[in-house]
Amino acid sequence: RIGNGTEPFVPVPNEPNSIFIQTPQYLLLSPDSRNIDGLISFVYNSGCESTNITSYLCDRAILAPMNDVVSKIKTRMISRLAISEMSYYSSDSIDDSCPSHSTLEALYPTEFLNTIVIPGLPDHILQLKIGVPIMLLRNLDPSRGLCNGTRLIVTQLTGCVIEGEIITGKAIGSRVYIPRIVTTSSQYKWPFKLRRRQFPVRLSYVMTINRSQGQTLNRVGATCHLMSSHTVNYMWHFQELHHQTACKFSLKIAQFHMSIAHIM
């Protein structure tokens, strides 16, 4: 009805140029669960604290519109697993093909390059534990099911490779090894191309909404942050049951006054 323009609009004081709709009460999350922990509990219940539920992890995820929100929720999620963690650090540099390469290297030291987060590129610091779900960010070997967007469960962590079990696509159940690769960005918003050598994966407990396209998920929670002087946090979830789409679309609204850090 929203797309067709038939949903009634609700006027909001001091917002003459915006359009709002009234969310039915039955679609809202309960007041005591209107926070990040509540969203995690809805999507994963106690499953994120266990590492042996492959089928449980493969069909659910938390979605967020921005990578910085994704990072904060990932940190909260992985801290719940009471097993040892392994951290992998990328090797970053400015691509040799960039004009004035030596000048750019002087202006943008490695420490700055490490802080850059670009959609589609792995993070500088990758923190993993055995049993966590991850998603491939690049096509490595499509014939073996290693495609961009493939989800896996980490089964072993070493210094050189990550061993994982594929849980989506045509190669479900296959054990594979993921190496570090070199990924080069487009120029994005800096006057250079970033060259990053890192494992091409990210935790898939939570992902950006764009990254979730093409995924088959049965249980989803999402948080959308409108960064303004009156920050509003929207959370929704839906379920698809068997061949019927029983869409329970919950829109959660909470008020925050400053930055994304306050969602924690």
The larger pLDDT score, comparing residue 21 to residue 62, is at 62
DSSP-derived letter for residue 260 is: G
Query: Which uninterrupted H or E stretch holds 42?
Result: helix 36-44
Torsion of CA 241, 73, 116, 130, to 10 degrees: -80
Three-state secondary structure call for residue 218: coil
What's the whole-number mean pLDDT along residues 193-208?
92
- Domain borders along the chain are 9-263
What's the pTM value of the predicted model, to 2 decimals? 0.74
Q: What is the pLDDT of residues 234-255, one digit of tens each?
A: 444 444 333 333 343 333 433 3
pLDDT of 105 strictly over 60: yes
pLDDT of residue 27: 58
Q: What is the pLDDT of residues 24-43, one digit of tens each?
A: 676 566 777 767 787 788 88
pLDDT of residue 34: 67
Q: Residue 234 corresponds to which tokens in the numbers above?
A: 């929207």
Q: What mean pLDDT value characterizes the chain?
A: 77
pLDDT of residue 2: 66
